[in-house]
Amino acid sequence: MRDALLAKLTEIVGAADVLQADAAAPFLVEWRGAFRPTALAVVRPADTAQVAAVVTACADANCAVIAQSGNTGLVGGAAADDAQRHVIVNLERMDRVREVDADNATITVEAGCILADVQQAAADAGLFFPLTLASRDRCRIGGNLATNAGGLNVVRYGNTRDLALGLEVVLADGRIWNNLTGLRKDNSGFDLDDLFIGSEGALGIITAAVMKLYEPVVQQVSALFALESPAQAVRLQRRLTAASGHNLTGCELMSRQAVALACSHIEGCEEPFDIDHDWYLLVELASSADGHWLLDAMAHVVEQARHAHELTDVVIAHDVETSRRLWHLRESLPPAQVAEGASIKHDISLPVSKLPAFLERALAAVREALPGVRPCPFGHVGDGNLHFNLSQPVDADGPAFLAQAEAAHTVVHDIVAEMGGSIAAEHGIGRLKVAALDRYKSEVERDMLAAIKTALDPHNRLNPGVIVKA
């Protein structure tokens, strides 16, 4: 049966794009190393019709399909785990920009388009695509949509879901649903696009999307604030939002430990102040309107904050190079933690107002539970999303530290749940956090998730084991 399926897949996409053994190895790697992916084959279709034919062939052979685009996910969402039944459908060949509609301010792109290429295509048309992630040169639109990725501009432009106006999706039975209309208003039924965005390939395979575009930024100002507490960051965020007319586009909280690791390990990262500070807030104001009034707004907020004793020091970027250095520091935090050794990671969100209380409680709790641990919290304070990561103690054994991950997750996630937050803010559930849903989602919510999965994928052939238990 497997030989027959492989023959059929070869007929659909060609022998060069049905990969096994060594040829498949580059696609069987999981970024964090938490999984050891394995699959019968990796198939690389060239268009939506081929994706549909592959899904149909796999269904006929009673095999499962795992969608993969940039393979930069952090929760094992594309980590196939059955060498006999799982077929990875990698969408990297589907990398075409189908249309730029300047008057409708939209771009229609295939799922395999690299995020940075979509940004460039928008710029070439004199427009701006605001989704941006540290992995923008590798991640692809299909994965961004499947995980509802957030990134650095969420506070102004929203998550990927907020940027999508329509999808093209291959369903579990091989049918193609085309909703690439670009409509901003359509109340003709349930919002089906929203079902597939954030579903991690468990309900359908997104093959293309219509995404919103904006006018290009013409004035921009960044600043790095040195602070005594996260509460000061929350107050600064409100001041900046008001003073700029809701043109705050980036608002990133960084702990002292996280900044120190970046300066120790990543080229081009420098200590931003003469003395160390407990917390840092990196912000950006940006607008498509002409003028220099955002710089005035930033200066006004700095004056207000100084008067209210809400900052210790500040660097305002008056040129592109200074701004680039400040944002390089923020984007260097994840690789710096990797360079430092083992790290236990949490991707959580809370109402912005609760972040200071969460940090006070969680920092004390993890230090008690894991003596010597070095917490490295950082993240998007503007939307309540923190990466509450824990670096191993100095000179600790990495594997021994990681063996305490489940205990650490319980400590952190219990506090998050008690405070009304989410244990999966922007990376998704994948295979990594499925078991945790039993603890943190109500029975009613779990039943609804299972019912939707059953309705759209009754035979559990799309990414089994992701979000909903297999």
- DSSP code per residue over 47-112: SHHHHHHHHHHHHHTT-EEEEESS---SSSTT--EEEEEEEEEE-TT---EEEEETTTTEEEEETT
pLDDT of residue 209 exceeding 80, the answer is yes
Per-residue model confidence as pLDDT tens digits over 156-185: 999 999 999 999 999 999 999 999 999 999
Query: Tokens for 284?
Result: 């950006």
Tokens standing for residue 77: 């969402």
More confident residue, 318 or 325: 325
Residues facing 250 on adjacent strands? 284
- Residue 412 has a pLDDT of 98
* C-beta of residue 86 within 8 angstroms of C-beta of residue 63: yes
Q: Which residue has the tokens 């969408």?
A: 91
Rounded to whole angstroms, how far apart are CA atoms 265 and 251? 23
Mean local confidence (pLDDT), 418-435: 92
Mean pLDDT of 248-269: 96
* pLDDT exceeds 70 at position 146: yes
Structure confidence at residue 349 (pLDDT): 96
Q: Kindly report, residue by residue over 337-370, the tens digit of the pLDDT.
A: 999 999 999 999 999 999 999 999 999 999 999 9
| Mean of pLDDT values over 258-262 | 96
> Is residue 133 within 8 Å of 427, Cβ to Cβ?
no
Coil, helix or strand for 136?
A: coil
CA end-to-end span of the chain, whole Å? 23
Tell me the mean pLDDT in the region 50-73.
Answer: 96
pLDDT of residue 82: 87
C-alpha distances out from residue 362 to 277, 375, 376, 380, Å: 20, 10, 12, 17
353: exposed, middle or buried (C-beta count within 10 Å: 0-12, 13-18, 19+)?
exposed
Say whether pLDDT at 31 is over 80: no
Nearest to 254 by CA among 305, 326, 173: 326
Per-residue pLDDT, 72? 86
Q: How many CB atoms lie within 10 A of CB 197?
A: 24
Band the pLDDT of 32: cuts 50, 70, 90.
confident
Of 89, 92, 83, 87, the closest CA to residue 36 belongs to 83
pLDDT at position 241: 96
Q: How far apart are CA 325 and CA 332, in angstroms?
A: 10
User: Which of the pair, 35 or 390, is modelled with greater confidence?
Assistant: 390
Among residues of the chain, what percentage have pLDDT more than 90? 90
Res 85: pLDDT: 94
Q: What is the pLDDT of residue 470?
A: 67
Q: What is the mean pLDDT of the chain?
A: 95
Report CA 390 to chain centroid distance, whole Å. Answer: 19
| Strand bridging mode 205-212 / 106-110 | antiparallel
Over residues 389-396, the mean pLDDT reads: 95
